[in-house]
């Protein structure tokens, strides 16, 4: 089989890139390891920058997002005594859209057949080949048979654990990684949110986050030690701790309910440079990971594929190599600024095991300064809504 662009991975990055390339008339095939339901089953953040909502609108795929998503013009930081509201709309003129990543992926997945976007699911043992030349290909097995897909370019949208980044020789790239000394325990429950906006709380016991999926479905998180066992957190204990960490006002409006999903995820910051090697490009989690504190993971995948689709369109439309040559540097400039914001907000809002009393007072002083400074709030707001492409 032959195409112009082979995309590895049908998560949000792979599917969004596939749609953007199809909209440019470029032949593309997406090859995904899992079945569609498995891809949709991953619970992930749901705060969309206009970076992403604009792309969905441009593709004519934003209808359900606008119908079911919740526009937010602000969010809150809590320091155990008060809510510090960051009025992103007033400070930046922009909002964010609360709409689950699963729903974004579902919208992209459902629209693929009508847009001529071929997605091959349940493709096992995928391997990229000859990525340093101009005739790369991938091999995979499906239905017990070995398959080969030849392409001019391969786009690795296969996440942190996928094969694409590993196809780049160690000597040709540079890893940057920070693993945080704690994880997030998340719960999904069919209960109304405790606040109409998100609350990020820094409590002496640790971080907590009150988020949502809709007016009747909430998503909460608490920071837990890395070696924490989910069995140690029955629902009641988790609701008690959330009420304590989020503060009295949130607790007074909190509705408890049975967990539809409950899991612990580690936090890391990770970047691989460059995001291109020969005819292989990396986009999304295959190239970078952010701690979920800043809700940047999905939005960075969107900016990567916005840059990459533009670069590939220039190549196939005008045989202009400059876009693909400049993709990595352009994408990394935005990636590193999002890494910075996510790392800073994580440091501000979490209790680090090695932190002493002075460190705690620095966090509280930081939050007190933010509460009193429009300049400080504007800095946070412009990063939260997403820096320009
Ligand atoms: N062969 C084919 N597909 C693969 C392989 C493989 N060997 N390995 C991984 N994949 C697929 C995964 O099954 C997944 O569907 O690649 C896809 C990668 O999707 P994501 O991990 O969601 O990454 P991305 O599309 O970059 O989206 C980033 O997703 O994980 C969240 O927090 C992250 O919000 C961020 C967003
Ligand atoms: C979520 O709703 O899952 C969510 C929201 C904001 C974050 C992280 C996760 O920063």
Domain regions of the chain by residue span: 5-45+101-176+268-346
* CA 377 and chain centroid, separation: 23
Whole-angstrom distance, CA of residue 144 vs CA of residue 113: 24
Tokens in use for 106? 């579902």
User: What is the strand order of the sheet 259-273 is part of?
Assistant: 83-86, 75-78, 199-203, 206-212, 218-225, 174-189, 259-273, 288-289
The closest residue, in CA terms, to atom 9 on ligand 2 is: 45
Residue with the smallest CA separation from ligand 1 atom 22 is 11
Q: Is 200 a catalytic site residue?
A: yes
3-class DSSP state for residue 56? helix
DSSP secondary structure string, 293-341?
Answer: GG--HHHHHHHHHHHHHHHHHHHHHH---HHHHHHHHHHHHHHHHHHHH
Closest to 363 in 3D by CA, of 181, 210, 180, 202: 202
Scan for tokens 């140690």, then name that residue: 232
Can you give the pLDDT of all 389 residues of the chain as single tens digits? 999 999 999 999 999 999 999 999 999 999 999 999 999 988 788 899 999 999 999 999 999 999 999 999 999 999 988 999 999 999 999 999 999 999 999 999 999 999 999 999 999 999 999 999 999 999 999 999 999 999 999 999 999 999 999 999 999 999 999 999 999 999 999 999 999 999 999 999 999 999 999 999 999 999 999 999 999 999 999 999 999 999 999 999 999 999 999 999 999 999 999 999 999 999 999 999 999 999 999 999 999 999 999 999 999 999 999 999 999 999 999 999 999 999 999 999 999 999 999 999 999 999 999 999 999 999 999 999 999 99
**Residue 236 DSSP one-character state:** H
Residue with tokens 């390891």: 33
- Judge whether 384 counts as a catalytic residue: yes
The ligand 2 atom at the shortest distance from the C-alpha of residue 98 is 2
Give the number of the ligand closest to the Cα of residue 120.
Answer: 1
Best residue for ligand 1 mutational test, from 47, 127, 285 (most atoms within 8 Å of Cβ): 285
Distance 46 CA to ligand 2 centre (A): 6
What's the gap in Å between 221 CA and the centre of ligand 2? 8
CATH 3.50.50.60 corresponds to the domain 5-45+101-176+268-346: yes
User: Of all atoms in ligand 1, which is nearest to the CA of residue 39?
Assistant: 15
Ligand nearest to the CA of 16: 1
The preferred substitution site among 292, 338, 342, 385 for testing ligand 2, maximizing ligand atoms within 8 Å of CB, is: 292
> What's the CA gap between 145 and 296, in Å, rounded?
38
Ligand 1 mean position, distance from CA 284 (Å): 8
Please say if 72 is a catalytic residue: yes
User: Among residues 103, 265, 106, 257, which one has the least CA distance to residue 193?
Assistant: 257
Task: Identify the nearest ligand to the CA of 292 by its number.
Answer: 2
* Identified catalytic residue from 12, 19, 72, 128: 72
Question: Which candidate in 137, 296, 307, 315 is catalytic?
Answer: 296
Q: Does the beta carbon of 33 sit less than 6 angstroms from any atom of ligand 2?
A: no
Strand order in the sheet with 276-277: 118-120, 28-31, 5-8, 153-156, 280-282, 276-277
């Amino acid at each position: 089989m032959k195409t112009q662009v082979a995309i590895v991975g049908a998560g949000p990055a792979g599917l969004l890139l596939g749609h953007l390339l199809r909209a440019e008339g470029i032949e593309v095939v997406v090859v995904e390891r899992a079945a569609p339901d498995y891809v949709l089953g991953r619970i992930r953040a749901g705060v969309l920058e206009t970076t992403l909502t604009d792309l969905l609108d441009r593709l004519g795929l934003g209808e359900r997002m606008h119908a079911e998503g919740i526009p937010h013009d602000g969010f809150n930081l809590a320091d155990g005594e008060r809510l510090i509201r960051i009025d992103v709309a007033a400070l930046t003129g922009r909002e964010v859209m609360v709409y689950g990543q699963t729903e974004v992926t579902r919208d992209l997945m459902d629209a693929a057949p009508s847009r001529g976007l071929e997605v091959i699911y349940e493709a096992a043992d995928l391997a990229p080949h000859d990525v340093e030349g101009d005739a790369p290909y991938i091999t995979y097995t499906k239905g017990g048979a070995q398959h080969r897909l030849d392409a001019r370019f391969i786009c690795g949208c296969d996440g942190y654990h996928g094969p694409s980044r590993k196809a780049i020789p160690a000597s040709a790239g540079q890893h940057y990684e920070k693993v945080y000394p704690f994880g997030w325990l998340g719960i999904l429950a069919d209960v109304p949110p405790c606040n109409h906006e998100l609350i990020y709380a820094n409590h002496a016991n640790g971080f907590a986050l009150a988020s949502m999926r809709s007016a009747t479905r909430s998503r909460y998180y608490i920071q837990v030690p890395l070696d924490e066992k989910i069995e140690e957190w029955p629902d009641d204990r988790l609701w008690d701790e959330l009420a304590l960490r989020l503060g009295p006002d949130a607790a007074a409006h909190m509705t408890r309910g049975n967990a539809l999903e409950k899991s612990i995820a580690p936090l890391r910051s990770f970047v691989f440079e460059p995001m291109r090697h020969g005819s292989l490009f990396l986009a999304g989690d295959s190239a970078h990971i952010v701690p979920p504190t800043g809700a940047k993971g999905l939005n960075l995948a969107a900016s990567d594929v916005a840059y990459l689709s533009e670069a590939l369109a220039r190549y196939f439309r005008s045989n202009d190599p400059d876009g693909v040559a400049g993709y990595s540097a352009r994408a990394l400039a935005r990636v590193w600024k999002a890494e910075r914001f996510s790392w800073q907000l994580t440091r501000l809002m979490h209790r680090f095991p090695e932190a002493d009393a002075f460190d705690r007072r620095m966090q509280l002083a930081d939050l007190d300064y933010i509460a009193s400074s429009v300049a400080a709030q504007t800095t946070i707001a412009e990063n939260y809504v997403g820096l320009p492409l």
